[in-house]
Amino acid sequence: MVPISIEAFVNKHCKNNPGENPNQLRKNLKQVVKDKKNGETCHNCGQEIWAIGSAVAYQGCFSCLTGEADSSGDYEISEVCWS
């Protein structure tokens, strides 16, 4: 995973998704970062959650949310980017 700050991700995501509410996204990201720090796991498989994907979809891991195994080129919030 590639570390990114909440603000940098909100800016990037909202630039590419103009209909997105940046304040709601920021709030969602802060909550899932807290959840990940508290050990929240994917509802499907039990792996650690992917904060960014969980903020825009449902609390899940990278693989369950994307169907992909390789997360090396994808973003994760820097304060919880452990893998």
Task: Show me where the domains of the chain are located.
Answer: 2-77
**pLDDT for 14-48, tens place per residue?**
999 999 999 999 999 999 999 999 999 999 999 99
User: % helix / strand / coil in the chain, to the nearest 5?
Assistant: 50, 10, 40
pLDDT for residue 83 is more than 80: no
pLDDT for residue 70 is more than 80: yes
Q: What is the arithmetic mean of pLDDT over 67-73? A: 94
pLDDT for residue 82 is more than 90: no
Q: What is the arithmetic mean of pLDDT over 68-72? A: 93
Full-model pTM = 0.92
Which H helix or E strand runs over 82?
A: none
Residue that has been written with the tokens 């949310």 in this structure: 65
